[in-house]
């Protein structure tokens, strides 16, 4: 059996990100942001047909876990994926459902 050096801190960070993603609405937000590079909370809540407060809640979780980044432009805050490779995770999950 091979001897592995396990970086538990790195594994815990990965698990935290996966837990943050593991909500249907958060997957939908990531999927939406993988199509558009940046969207405001208003654009997201309208596109997903959810309350603005609900969209803000999920965006906040994703941002706090390092999944999304936000930038302010005037009065609006726009959200985007921190790493575009996150869309590959959503694609992989969608393929597993086939």
Gyration radius of the chain's alpha carbons: 15
Looking at per-residue pLDDT, the higher value among 88 and 65 belongs to 65
- What is the dotted CATH code of the domain comprising 15-96? 1.10.10.10
Detail the DSSP E strand segments found in the chain. Answer: 39-40, 68-73, 76-81
Dump pLDDT digits (tens) for 21-56.
889 999 999 989 988 789 999 999 999 999 999 999
Q: What does the domain layout of the chain look like in residue ranges?
A: 15-96
Dump pLDDT digits (tens) for 58-75.
999 999 999 999 999 999
């Amino acid at each position: 059996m091979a001897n592995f050096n396990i970086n538990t801190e790195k594994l815990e960070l990965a698990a935290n990100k996966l837990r943050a993603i593991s909500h249907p609405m958060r997957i939908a937000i990531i999927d939406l942001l993988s199509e558009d590079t940046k969207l405001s909370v208003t654009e997201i809540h309208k596109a997903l047909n959810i309350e603005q407060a609900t969209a803000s809640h999920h965006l906040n979780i994703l941002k706090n876990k390092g999944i999304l980044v936000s930038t302010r432009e005037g009065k609006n805050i726009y959200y985007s994926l921190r790493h575009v490779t996150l869309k590959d995770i959503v694609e992989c999950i969608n393929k597993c459902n086939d």
